[in-house]
Structure 1
Amino acid sequence: MVNQQYRASDMMTCAIANLLNDGETVFHGVSSHLPMIAMMLAKRLHAPNLVHLNIPGGVNPSSVTQASYSSAGADLFSGAESYFPLEEVFDLSMRGRLDVAFLSGIQFDLHGNINASVVGSYQKPKVRLPGGAGSAVLIPTAKKAIIWRTKHDKRTFVENVDFITTRGNLWKIVTPLCIFQYKAGKLHLDRIQPTSSLEEVKANTGFELSYDEIKYTNAPTEKELSLLKKIDPFDYRSIEF
Structure 2
Amino acid sequence: MRTSYSVSDIMTCALARMLKDGETVFHGVSSHLPMVAIQLAKHMQAPNLVHLNIPGGVNPSSLKKASYSSAGADLVTGAEAYFPLDEVFDLSMRGKLDVAFLGGVQFDVHGNVNASVIGDYRQPKVRLPGGAGSAVLIPTAKKIILWRTKHDKRTFVERVDFVTTRGNLWKIVTPLCIFEFRHGKLHLDSIHPTSSLEEVRANTGFELLYDEIKYTPPPSKRELDVLKKIDPYEYRALEFQLNR
TM-score, length-scaled by structure 2? 0.96
Aligned-partner residue type, residue 174 of structure 2: T
Pairs within 5 Å for 1:82-97: 82-97=81-96
In the other structure, the counterpart of 1:33 is: 32
Matched, 1:195 2:194: yes
Compared CA separation, residues 3 and 62, structure 1 to 2 (3 A)? farther
Deviations 1:149-181 (A, max 9, x none): 000000000011000001131000000100000
Deviations 1:25-59 (A, max 9, x none): 10000010110000000000000011100011110
In the other structure, the counterpart of 2:236 is: 237
In the other structure, the counterpart of 2:149 is: 150
Assess if the C-alpha contact under 8 Å between 2:66 and 2:74 holds in 1. no
Counterpart Cα distance in 1 of 2:81 and 2:68:
19
Structure 1 runs (4+) greater than 6 angstroms displaced:
none
Matched, 1:46 2:45: yes
Compared CA separation, residues 70 and 123, structure 1 to 2 (3 A)? closer
Q: How many residues align?
A: 240
Displacement of 1:64 in angstroms is: 1.5
Q: Which moved more, 1:70-79 or 1:117-126?
A: 70-79
In the other structure, the counterpart of 1:222 is: 221
Counterpart Cα distance in 2 of 1:230 and 1:115:
35
Counterpart Cα distance in 2 of 1:193 and 1:63:
29
Assess if the C-alpha contact under 8 Å between 1:147 and 1:172 holds in 2. yes
Deviations 1:100-132 (A, max 9, x none): 000001000000000000000001111011100
Q: What CA RMSD, in Å, does the superposition of the two structures yield over aligned residues?
A: 1.1
Displacement of 1:78 in angstroms is: 2.4
Assess if the C-alpha contact under 8 Å between 2:100 and 2:137 holds in 1. yes
Q: Which runs of 5+ in 2 are unaligned?
A: none
Displacement of 1:141 in angstroms is: 0.8
Assess if the C-alpha contact under 8 Å between 1:158 and 1:206 holds in 2. yes
In the other structure, the counterpart of 2:108 is: 109
Counterpart Cα distance in 2 of 1:98 and 1:68:
25
Alignment identity in percent?
77
Assess if the C-alpha contact under 8 Å between 1:115 and 1:161 holds in 2. yes
Aligned-partner residue type, residue 204 of structure 1: N
Counterpart Cα distance in 2 of 1:67 and 1:46:
23
Counterpart Cα distance in 1 of 2:170 and 2:91:
19
In the other structure, the counterpart of 2:18 is: 19
Assess if the C-alpha contact under 8 Å between 1:139 and 1:166 holds in 2. yes
TM-score, length-scaled by structure 1? 0.97
